Each structure stands twice: as structure tokens, then as C-alpha cells.
Chain A
């Protein structure tokens, strides 16, 4: 040990460092510290953009100067505040930093992006999550019931056509929109769930719809609104969508799962690096024991 000390004391570079360190210490003691605040094009650009966002125009020269002065004031206060440790114990600062760390944790602990195969496996493991309900597409032509019909000055002009007439016009190729009476809930129903159809037209209508052949205008079907001539276009039974159709949703779900797994795992690892001491603040020993068992594994 003594030999080592002698060796070190004899070493010229040791003395070089000692002298250098003393000079540096002296420098810091004598010369007041200055720090540099650089305001570059990035900062100026950001200030101007937020001004534009707020006022809808670019700042004038004097406004620009005021913006910079304000930015500088804030930067000075921010830095001095940090030096004094004013950020400590501030719940808002704390929440923001926690938010950033959470993002970092979620990001850093997660693995590489999923492969196509991983996503497909994920999709096939839980098909019910993506199953589409039964859906139906149809068009209809509406004829209101006489007794409840309201006659405005403008719609009494023409006598009400019979349903047979309407059918003839449809079969002659006239578009349903011009044949039908106006119907606010829509004449074309595309890929709507049977629950939606039932909620609007009633269960009897839905039952009749189920018996229709595709592509031809039906006999009149009653509903609580009146009569409907219906042309069924397509029934789609409950089905599992193709992987490609829901790929982006699957990927999002996969990433969400991965992220929450990463957060839990990351927090578990962090927890191992800390010793948590819960000091009972109340004499109630029951509560004290409850505290120590809460949230800390």
C-alpha cells in the first residue's frame, strides 16, 4: 500500500492533475458562473407557430421581439427554478414526468414489431373478438297507410297510387326513390345488422325479409309505418372477417396488449430496484398493516 502511494506521488501526471484540479477550483471560486441560453431557429419557429395558431396571423416585428423576450424570461425562471429544486414536490411536474416515463417504459420494454404470423395467430386465438354480426342489404319502396297520412297543401295533388301500380313502375325500371313516398329512415339499407332492422321496422318485417328471394321486388310487406315493397340484395350470416379486413385492428390490439404487458413488466423490474419502506403515520396499527400490504408486493 505504501509502495503504491510512493509510486503515485512520484508520477508526474498525478501532480499535473492535482494542479489542474486546483486551478479549476480556483477559477470556479473566483469567476462568477455564466450559462448559455441559445435561442435558435427551432425555438423561434415554435414561438411563431403557436402565435399563428392563437391569433391566425404572423406576429409583427415588435410582437416577435416581445415573444422572444417573454420566452427568455420564462427560460431564465425555469432554469433558476430547477436549480433551486422547485420542481420537486410539484404534482403537475410529477404527473408529466410520470407520463413521459410511462411512454418510455411502454416503448423500451416492448419487443420488435409483430410479424405477420404473430398477428395471424393472435387473430385466430380470439376470433369472437372480431366476428361480424348477421347483416342484410335491401332496398324498399314505401307507401304510407291512409288513415294516418297527413295531407299538406303540396302533397294532396296526386291521388295515392296503388301498390300494384308502384310495383309495375319498379319493374319497368323506374328508380325506387321516385316511386316511393319519402321515408326519413332511408330507402336503401346496406349491411345493417338484423337488430337495427328489427328495431326500426319490427320483428314481423324482419321475418318476412328472411323469406324473400334475392333480387326481385316483393309483395307488399306491412310495418308500423305502412307498406313496403322490398328487394333483397344480400344476406350476410355472422362471419369471421378475413384477417386482411381487420388487420389494422388486430395490430392495434396486439400492440395495446404488448404495451400494457411492457408497462407491468417494466414496473415490476423498477420495483425490484427499490426498497419500499412504509412508515405508519397513525397509531392505528390495523391501518398501518393494511398500508404495508397495499400496492407493494
Chain B
């Protein structure tokens, strides 16, 4: 008899599961399975419920799991709890406040080295490993775990590979990072694994064989698939329903998560689970790095699931923010300098009313609080000599441009093939102009869709986060940039890697080195970008910051108490109308004993505002001096001349107009130093130097720099 009872029970349970899973019992409002009344259901709570259901534990341990109150936990109640886990419990209203105040988001203290006044942490939020399709074709075999180890100081071996498949060039970071995120391309995670695993059902397909032949050979079936309006996977590899690739991608994603979890050491080193969404419509860069707050993450979204950025945001909002309790996420756009006007378009697809436009604008603002303003493929701040931008010329914009030569100026329009270093130059490719577009939209909608804070990162495809030193740049694209010719000549696609650079760093002001604290900094934009050096900068704006702020021992406390930090919004002054004070302090990067840092030259404030319905721009030198005579010896790369280890000032805007919405960001410039290719050329015997070494159109010196997130002034 007993033998027969069990299958029946199983059948009843399976029917129960099917019944509930199919939604025949409609959604439950309460939070089934929230054993600890935390407002969300965790996997641990599900495990506890199952234990109760199996009689291993008492039902009292999770009375919230016993929905019908019958003193038992049944399978359908477990399924209900799984539902709560996936969708979250009763959704709580999300406040739409434009700028959360620091006190409102102050995370809980976990570390002995917690600092209420916040401390600076340097990191890299754009790192590719062997899971990225392009990195793999450049013989990169670095795993996410290797990349995190590299960030903390462990050397790794870079391509070219020897006969045994090991790298042959040693790379080591000069100084450990505080945080990092591996951001492999979410597209092709499964394909890369299938095509590189002998014996997989796709291994011998033509697509995979081309993939293994190299980057140029794989372009047609990989890179090129990302640049069409409706991207499709290769069914030869993935099957017609793509399931094969999605399944394998799931396993790879699990390993990426696992590596981030293992490498995260709260208080010392923070990792984030992340990926890169690689939309390359019309050969232009519409890429975003998607970074999660913690380990509550949905599967990665690729351009094959969501072919537009709007689709990506909606999907992230729906799946992460609404369906998974505790999940939080941001998307960080990068390389608008290659987007030929396509990254930051003022358009609201499908919106038929102002209300709907406003909704889309705030979704964008919510999900994209930051922009990566600088990296391996150049600066996206501004473009030297771009005509018809309202405002004064800015010679400091001639800094690591991604594209050069006779490029078509497409005004505020669009072009194509920016990702290949071609296409037209659009005003919208540069963040400075986009901030102005944001103010115009703010005036129109009351919502600013482009209120970006700034970070920089490397975009290394070698799995070498924070490898930013100019003096020994080893390339960021595996074997493709492993020789002087590869690094300074032309690449397989006719692009010119000598225009690339070692990339920059992301810096945050955070209470402590934990995921909670750093992610909160990213969201409130208390961040700055550097072109590589560890320059440190504070930036506050307030109505009554004292004129002697620079010398006050309590200046940081004063900054927070009487002003807003970088990334914040200054509201109209209460009482008597005045002029806001901008308090700025910067310290140089001392470098290392072997490679000392470069002294600071000056601090600039870049101001943008709206007047007469137009976005305007002005640059102010506020501390230091642009013509201090400092220079660098191009043979030895030794700098000479005066400069500053520290600069500090309290600046008042001489053109302040209380009626005009404005943004202000700070640029800290170093004295001139050698560009990376000059170091590389100097290390070669003269007869072995590639033509780039004597190219007069290529600048030999650069001024490394830091950019703070803007502070906005929004009257009314």
C-alpha cells in the first residue's frame, strides 16, 4: 500500500505546482515566505520553508510561509514564496526626488575604517576578460577571477600565447585598486564558450571556425551582428530558438557572479557584478556598462533581447528593480565620442504626450546617473576646434581624441561607423554639449534626462583593470597590440590604435570600501574621473561657504553642512539673493618612487547654462596658472618647471545669473608629460621605430587631468 501512496502524493504536488505556476491562483499581495519579516524573500527563506514542508523543521520557524494558516507548508506555498523572491514583495513607492541628500542615503557602517566625511577610493568599472568575444579573438585568456587578482597586485601574463597556450608578456599594476567590476560583453557569452570548447555541438561550425581564426575573420558573425536594427544570433551556433547559447551564457554568467563574490572583501576590496550591453547600431557606439548593487541580479540583457537603449532601461527597471527584492542597477554609457550623434539623442520613442516624455526622461535619468567620460578609446568630454559650439574656445579639449583627420561635421545630426574611428562629428558626441541639452530638456519637461556624473575607466580587453600607466603601456587588446607595429600602426580593420591610450580611473567619495557605500556614491554621483593619475579633488557649492574655506581644519564638514558635493544640485538660495561659492581643493598624484607623478598646473571650472533658449558655455581658470612654463624633456620624459602639489580655492561665478539653470564641473590639469607612444618609441632603437614615432600630427605631450561630476544650479 505505502508504495502506492507516494506517487499519488507526488502527482498531487506536481498538479499543485502546475496549477500555481500557471497562475490559476492569481497573484498574492502579501509576502508569502518572508520568514524574518524583512520585506523580502531570500533563497535562505525558501530553503527554510522546504525544510518545514519536509518535516525537518518546525513550522513556527516560518509562519509567514504558511499562507493558509493550516499549520503546514505545502508545495504551492513554496512556489508562492519563489514568486515573492522573483518579483519582490509589496512594491514600495520609489521617491522621485531629483537628488537624494547624503544623509538620506547614508549606508550602514560595516568597517573599522569607516569615515563619515567620506574617503577617496579608486577603481575601474570597465574590464573585459576572455568571456568577451573580441578579447578572446585577441588571444586573451584572462578570467574574471584573474582580473580581480590583477587589480589587487597579482601579475598576469598577456598574449601572444606560447605553444602551451600561456601568455608571454608579464603585466603588473603599479598600485592596487580599491574596487573593480568585470564588464564582459553580454552578447555572445554563450557563443564564445561554445566556440572555444572542443566537442561542443557548435565547435565545428563555420561560424566557430572563423571565430577561432581571429578578430577580423570573426567580424562578420560577431561584431557586425551588433550593428543592425534587429540583431540576430547565429542559429548555426545557437540553434534556431537560440536556447543553446542562452543556456551556456547562463553558466558563464554564474561564473562571472561567482568570481565577483569570491573576490569581494568588504572594507578592503569591492567588486561589482556587471556586464556590457553592446549596442552598435549603424557601426556607432551605444554601449553601456550595467552595474549591479549587490548579488541580487537578473540574467544579463544583450542587444539580442533588447535592441534599443530604451528597451534596456525598461527591462532593467522591470526585472531588477521591480521583480527582484533588493536588486538595484545603473547603466553607464561610454564612448559617445564614437557614436556619431547616436548615444545621446533627444527623442522619446513612442511617447505621445509630454507626460510620457517626462516619464521616459526620468527613467533615463534614474538608470543612467553617470557617464564614462574617458577611457582607452579616448575622451568624450569635448572635441578641440569643434565649430559653432556656443562659448569660448578650449585648447584643453585637444586631449586624446578618438577620431582625427578630415571628419565631416554633422552639426547636431547623426552618422555612422563612429566605432571604427570614422563617421561624422556630432555635437551630441561630447558630454559637455549633452549636459547643455539636458538643461534645455529640464526647461521643457521639468526633468533632466542628461544629468550625468563622471567616471573614467580603462576598457581593457586584457583583463587588466587599472593598468593606466603611460610609461609602459602594453595595449589593451591582447595580441593585436602586442608589438610596436600593432600598438602604433594600423590594425586589422584599418583603424589606428596609436590614437588609443591606457585609459583612466573611476574615483568615488564613500564612507567605506563596501558595495553598499560605493554603489551609493555612484548613484548620487559623488564621483570624479581621471585620465589615469590618482589626482584627488573635492568640490562643494553653497551659498555661505566661508572665504577661508581652504585653511579651515573642518572644511570637509563645512562643505557638507553648508553646501552640496560634486554630483549634487544646488537649490535657489533662501533669503537674500547672493552668489554661490564654489570650494575646490585638489592634490596631485605623487606616483611611485620609480615613476613619480606630475605636478598640477591649474584648476578650471567649466560652466554651462541656458540663456535665451540656447545652451551656453564658458571656461574659467580658477587656481594655478596655464602659462607657468613647465615642460617635459621628450628624450627622457623628465618634467621640468614649477607646479603645485596642492591647489585650493573658493571661487565665485562673476557671471552668475540667478534666473538661469546651470551646471559647473571642475577640471584639474597636470603639467605636460610624455604621451604613452613617446615612452614606447624611446624604448626602441631609432631604426625600429614605426612611422607614428615621427608623425608630426600626433601630440607628443599630454596634460593628464581629473574631471569632477558637475554640480547643477536649478532655480525655481
Contacts and interface: CB of A to CB of B under 8 A. Distances in A.
A150 B593 contact: no
A266 to B, nearest CB: 12
B645 A293 contact: no
B550 A177 contact: no
Contacts of B538: 184
A37 B23 CA distance: 11
B59 interface: no
B44 interface: yes
Interface stretch (B47-55, B401-409, B434-442): B47-55
B199 A184 contact: no
Interface stretch (B88-96, B159-167, B610-618): B88-96
Given A53-B91, A203-B593, A204-B593, A149 B27 contact: no
A287 B50 contact: no
B46, B94, B590, B646 pick with most chain A CB within 10 angstroms: B646
A254 B548 CA distance: 55
A199 B646 contact: no
A110 B46 CA distance: 11
B694 interface: no
Interface in A44-95: 44-46, 49-50, 52-53, 56, 75, 78-79, 82, 87, 89, 91, 94-95
Interface in B7-42: 17, 21-24, 26-30
Given A42-B27, A155-B551, A255-B47, A150 B201 contact: no
Interface string A136-159: 010000001101111010110100
A42 B115 CA distance: 45
B252 interface: no
B550 A182 contact: yes
Contacts of B597: 224
A113 B199 contact: no
Contacts of A188: 115
Contacts of B548: 154
Contact of B93 (A39, A45, A56, A177): A56
Interface residues of A, number: 88
Given A103-B46, A148-B599, A150-B623, A191 B29 contact: no
Interface string A99-116: 110011011101111000
B553 A149 contact: no
A163 B549 CA distance: 23
Nearest to A189: B113
Interface in A175-215: 175, 177-178, 180, 182-186, 188-193, 195-196, 198-200, 202-204
B551 A291 contact: no
A108 B550 CA distance: 61
B47, B56, B119, B650 pick with most chain A CB within 10 angstroms: B47
Interface string B549-560: 111111100000
A82 B91 contact: no
A173 interface: no
Interface stretch (B101-109, B239-247, B470-478, B564-572): B239-247
Given A177-B554, A224-B596, A45 B51 contact: no
Nearest to A179: B553
B78 A43 contact: no
A225 B648 contact: no
A293 B200 CA distance: 8
Contact of A41 (B29, B96, B592): B29
A195 B153 contact: yes
Nearest to A46: B29
Contacts of B267: 191
Interface stretch (B79-87, B424-432, B677-685): B79-87
Nearest to B269: A193
B46 A107 contact: yes
B644 A148 contact: yes
A91 B243 contact: yes
Given A107-B46, A294-B199, A148 B23 contact: no
Contacts of A89: 241
A78 to B, nearest CB: 6
Contacts of B17: 104
Given A150-B644, A202-B590, A295-B201, 4 more contacts: A107-B47, A150-B648, A225-B590, A287-B204
28 contacts: A43-B26, A43-B27, A53-B322, A56-B93, A75-B26, A100-B86, A106-B43, A108-B54, A108-B78, A110-B47, A110-B50, A111-B56, A112-B56, A149-B646, A155-B550, A184-B120, A185-B587, A186-B119, A191-B111, A195-B153, A204-B593, A223-B590, A225-B587, A255-B43, A259-B43, A290-B201, A291-B201, A294-B199
Interface of A: 37-46, 49-50, 52-53, 56, 75, 78-79, 82, 87, 89, 91, 94-97, 99-100, 103-104, 106-108, 110-113, 132-133, 137, 144-145, 147-150, 152, 154-155, 157, 175, 177-178, 180, 182-186, 188-193, 195-196, 198-200, 202-204, 223-226, 255-256, 259, 284, 286-287, 290-291, 293-295
* 8 closest cross-chain pairs (CB), A and B: A224-B590, A199-B175, A191-B112, A45-B29, A42-B29, A46-B29, A53-B91, A177-B553
